[in-house]
Amino acid sequence: DWTMAGYREQAIQQIRDQVGDKQVICALSGGVDSSVTAILINEAIGDQLTCVFVDHGLLRKDEAIEVTRMFRENYNLNLIAADESEMFLGALEGVTDPEVKRKTIGKLFIDVFDKYAKEIDGAEFLAQGTLYPDVIESVSFSGGPSVTIKSHHNVGGLPEKMGLKLVEPLRELFKDEVRALGRELGLPEQFIRRHPFPGPGLAIRCPGEVTREKLDILRNADAVYIDQIRKHGLYDEIWQAFVAILPVRTVGVMGDGRTYDFACALRAVTSVDGMTADYYPYTHEFLGETATRIINEVPGINRVTYDITSKPPGTIEWE
């Protein structure tokens, strides 16, 4: 009968058969899919795998440090941590259109990854955390809908461009099975249960121009918000929660003084697959306490709103 331990052994054997003595590269984001893919392949072929973690400057507070530290402490894996934030943020200067943002980030990501991959002698394979639903979706969508709501950021264009073959050890699994496999492989629970995070990162939670100032404020507000959610034991009930910083300053009063700072919006949704979503019904107490904490603890924000739009008609992200 079918067990995760059995799947692990079988997947490892398949990876060895497919790859032989060739080199494999993997774009590691710290999300559960790419993490499990990397750990599994590392277990199968060890030194023949190199992972590249790209910091595009649009990550959450301490995320680059936490992800690289977790891998360095728990797994003996070749990991290149590439800080390319200057380049990404430079390219985003003056960009306000959501699709231009997404395309700018997506294209740079491929360029950066390509650059690191070329440094790895004889890389013939690209590892990807493709899941079973992605496989079905790409089949049923071919020749399908012509309306693109948002251009998705992933490494989809990479294999053709770089002439690489794909290794996709999660192709038969659903998300909950990937999580179970992650547990089997010793991935810390915090990484297994992490809310989804989009490839373009904080850029699409920062409507209008993305600036370092706004990103720093956003990171701090988001950290306080997620801390509140964890303290109230709500993290695992929510599909995804984050702060968006609005491109508008509003007037406030603090102590004896007038403030003129940014407004932000809290987002939290429940969902099964991200295709549809409902806003999360927080209590007024939770919302009030969170707004107070953010305004007191995050310089640069003096107004907090709660986004109560469901999907459809809204999308989960703001852009």
Give the footprint of ligand XMP on this chain (CB under 6 A).
150, 152-154, 196, 198-200, 240, 274, 311, 315-317
Do 252 and 298 meet the contact criterion of CB atoms below 8 Å apart? no
Least separation, in Å, of the C-beta of 196 and ligand XMP?
Answer: 4
Least separation, in Å, of the C-beta of 90 and ligand XMP?
Answer: 20
Least separation, in Å, of the C-beta of 202 and ligand XMP?
Answer: 11
Least separation, in Å, of the C-beta of 169 and ligand XMP?
Answer: 19
- Is 32 known to sit in a ligand binding site? yes
Least separation, in Å, of the C-beta of 288 and ligand XMP?
Answer: 26
- Of 52, 53, 42, 51, which is closest to residue 19 (Cα–Cα)? 42
* Residue with smaller CB distance to ligand XMP, 7 or 191: 191
- Of 199, 196, 209, which is closest to residue 247 (Cα–Cα)? 209
Least separation, in Å, of the C-beta of 277 and ligand XMP?
Answer: 7
- Is 33 known to sit in a ligand binding site? yes
Distance between CA atoms of residues 302 and 304, nearest Å: 7
Distance between CA atoms of residues 212 and 23, nearest Å: 37
Residue owning tokens 């507000």? 221
Distance between CA atoms of residues 80 and 99, nearest Å: 29
* Residue with smaller CB distance to ligand XMP, 29 or 220: 29
In this structure, the strands spanning 257-270 and 278-279 are antiparallel
- Is 157 known to sit in a ligand binding site? no
Q: Which helix (H) or strand (E) holds 246?
A: strand 240-254
* Residue with smaller CB distance to ligand XMP, 124 or 168: 168
* Residue with smaller CB distance to ligand XMP, 20 or 157: 157
Query: Tokens representing 102?
Result: 């997404």
* Residue with smaller CB distance to ligand XMP, 150 or 249: 150
* Sign of the torsion angle spanned by Cα atoms 109, 114, 119, 123: positive
- Is 29 known to sit in a ligand binding site? yes
Least separation, in Å, of the C-beta of 290 and ligand XMP?
Answer: 20
Do 39 and 125 meet the contact criterion of CB atoms below 8 Å apart? no
* Residue with smaller CB distance to ligand XMP, 182 or 198: 198
Distance between CA atoms of residues 88 and 143, nearest Å: 33
Do 167 and 41 meet the contact criterion of CB atoms below 8 Å apart? yes
Task: Kindly report the three-state secondary structure assignment for every residue of 51-109.
Answer: EEEEECCCCCCCHHHHHHHHHHHHCCCEEEEEECHHHHHHHCCCCCCHHHHHHHHHHHH
Do 35 and 94 meet the contact criterion of CB atoms below 8 Å apart? no
- Is 30 known to sit in a ligand binding site? yes
* Residue with smaller CB distance to ligand XMP, 6 or 274: 274
Binding-site members for ATP are 29-35
Binding-site members are 29-35
